[in-house]
Amino acid sequence: MPSPSAQNPSAGDSYAIEAYGLTKSYGKPPARVLDGLDLRVERGSVFALLGPNGAGKTTCVRILATLTTADSGTARVAGHDVVAERSAVRRAISLTGQFAAVDETQTGEENLRMMARLTGLSRTAARRRAQELLERFDLTRAARRTVSTYSGGMRRRLDLAAGLTGSPEPGVFFLDEPTTGLDPRSRQELWQVVRELAGRGASVLLTTQYLEEADRLADRIALLDKGRIAAEGTAADLKGRVAGHRLDLVLTSREGYLRLAGRAVHHSPETLTLGLPTDGSAAHVRALLHEIDPAGTEIDRFTLHSATLDDVFLALTSEVPAHV
């Protein structure tokens, strides 16, 4: 539902981030990466931008964080225009992720202290801030090692800590795939950090390829596909838009599997299982089974379960699953 500020891009008070009609092309001939992207992130919320490799997530974040400019369209972050008020935007945001800027040849502690100094803290305050962040991100033991020796998970935690060296902490956080490559424990820890940030009133835009991450963390989720938002809403909204439930059928033959594969939103060729959308009512399930298998010979077993975000993603984007 359009809010007043959706019609008036300058009325940005309730939004941490708002973008209208962003386009961006790369290469010759130009390939369109963003194709009229609209986005609104409410203040104090966690917003997940979800998309497969190459969907344009990083490009979108880079435009919003003023590292590159859109070919057309406008965006405001923390109430400031990303082109006309670039410095104000930069002061209001923290950016970590695929392009983080820690110095590999320095230790974790040196990096944090240097960044804290750059944000204007005194030497003593910077040292204190670095210690706090090293503790918060479980890096105290690695504090005196050069970053080049860090594991991927440690490196990612340092990237995040580096974005928090300023005081006061920035109000808008861009986290580009913050948990890619992390082990499950480190991922949970980062989720906790993101929740803490949101709990303090910060707004967070994170990109992820993990549906589970978006489901667990985000107040709202947008599915990015072909440079546009293919669907947006809460996890529950999105699940509800596709079909409340999925009927998984185990077929008795490969022929039956192939015949029905085009209708399915979930495919598992090894087990001859196909998932079909349904509202979950007995009437619909019964009608579906009867329609698919009138003779009662093609379906071996079935299970019914609530739709997952994976189902939503496959149904609402052009990602075609391999079914044979």
User: Which residues contact ligand ATP (rule: CB under 6 A)?
Assistant: 26-27, 33, 51, 53-59, 98, 209
Minimum distance between the CB of residue 224 and Mg ion, rounded to whole angstroms?
A: 10
Amino acid at 170: P
Token duo for residue 182 = 């992390």
Here the contacts of 191-199 (C-beta below 8 Å, separation 24 or greater) are 191/216, 191/217, 193/136, 193/137, 193/160, 194/46, 195/46, 197/169, 197/173, 198/44, 198/45, 198/46
Least separation, in Å, of the C-beta of 231 and ligand ATP?
16
Cβ distance to Mg ion smaller for residue 58 or 96:
58
Contacts of 281 (CB under 8 A, 6+ apart): none
58 binds Mg ion (CB under 5 A): yes
Pattern 69-88, binding to Mg ion, x per CB under 5 A?
--------------------
Indicate the residue among 40 and 57 with the shorter CB distance to Mg ion: 57
Shortest Cβ distance from residue 225 to ligand ATP (Å)? 10
What gap in Å lies between CA 252 and CA 298, rounded to an integer? 5
Distance CA 225, CA 322 (A): 18
Binding of residue 208 to Mg ion (CB under 5 A): no
Judged by beta carbon, residue 63 or residue 133, the one nearer Mg ion is 63
Q: Provide the minimum distance between the beta carbon of 17 and ligand ATP in the complex, in angstroms, as a whole number.
A: 16
Which residue lies nearer to ligand ATP by CB, 111 or 207? Answer: 207
Shortest distance (Å) from residue 209 CB to ligand ATP? 6
The piece of 11-19, 55-63, 292-300, 311-319 that touches Mg ion (CB under 5 A) is: 55-63
Alpha helices (H) in the chain, listed in sequence order: 4-7, 57-64, 86-92, 108-118, 123-136, 152-162, 184-199, 211-217, 235-242, 254-260, 282-292, 309-316
Name the residue nearer to Mg ion (CB basis): 57 or 228: 57
